[in-house]
Each structure stands twice: as structure tokens, then as C-alpha cells.
Amino acid sequence: MQNILVIESSSSYLQMIDLSLKQAGLNIEIARTDSEALVVAKQQKFDVVLCDLDKIGTEPIQLIKQFCILAKDNDSSFIVIANSKLQNKKQEAMAAGAAQWISKPFDPDELLNQVLAVMH
């Protein structure tokens, strides 16, 4: 089974993401903060890290870099979810190692397709 780490603080988005990915047969681990996510990612291998950059504690690009360092060890991909106020960070996020950028609001099917596209 494919493992997905979801870093999301919004209950409504988290519910939509969780339902969409679980219906596709994916195993979901949830972290509500960046620090919680980093602890979990050091303990378990994930195929995809899906992160909402809007409400994390760390500078978004720094978080992507930290996860991409971990990803080299366990072959995972990083997908950014962000609203339009962070659109100016897209190029920087992709240069830091993000595999995909999904803008909010998003369609659950689009999210699932992006997750499946980056899985190894």
C-alpha cells in the first residue's frame, strides 16, 4: 500500500483530502504542523508528502528543502498545496524540490491525479 503524509491544519481540507485518497486505497498519515510532520517523516517512509503551505510554522521553502533531504533517503515526492497569496513562492518551491504545486481551491479528483502522477 502506498503511504502518504498529509500536512494540513484545516479540518475541512483535511477531511476532503483524507476521503479522496483513502477511497483510492492509499494509506494516509496526518500531521497538523510542520514540526510534527518532520518527526513522523523521520520515523516512517512515505511515497508522497502532501503539504499545505498556508498554515505551517516554518518558512515554506525551508520546509520543502528539509523534506527533500529526507526524500533522497526514502524516494518520496513533495507536493505543495497553497492558496493564491503564496503563488509568488511557486518557482522557489519547485526549485527547492517540490514535484507539484496545487492551488487552492482544488478539485479532489485533481488532487488524487497529481498524487498518483508523482508516485514511484
What CATH number does the domain containing 72 carry? 3.40.50.2300
- The grid coordinates listed for 106 are 482544488
Which has the higher per-residue pLDDT, 61 or 101?
101
> Which structural domain range is residue 49 located in?
3-118
- Which pTM does this prediction carry? 0.87
Q: How many domains does the chain have?
A: 1
pLDDT of residue 28: 94
pLDDT of residue 108: 92
Torsional sign, CA 45, 114, 52, 70: positive
Tell me the percentage of the chain whose pLDDT exceeds 90.
Answer: 31
pLDDT at 115 over 80: yes
Burial class for 34, CB neighbours closer than 10 Å (0-12, 13-18, 19+) = buried
pLDDT of residue 56: 62
Contact 53, 25 (CB under 8 A): no
Average pLDDT over residues 50-78: 74
- Measured distance CA(6)–CA(4) in Å, rounded: 6
Question: How do beta strands 27-31 and 77-82 pair?
Answer: unpaired
- Interval 15-50: pLDDT, tens: 999 999 999 999 999 998 888 888 888 888 888 999
Residue with cell 485518497: 21
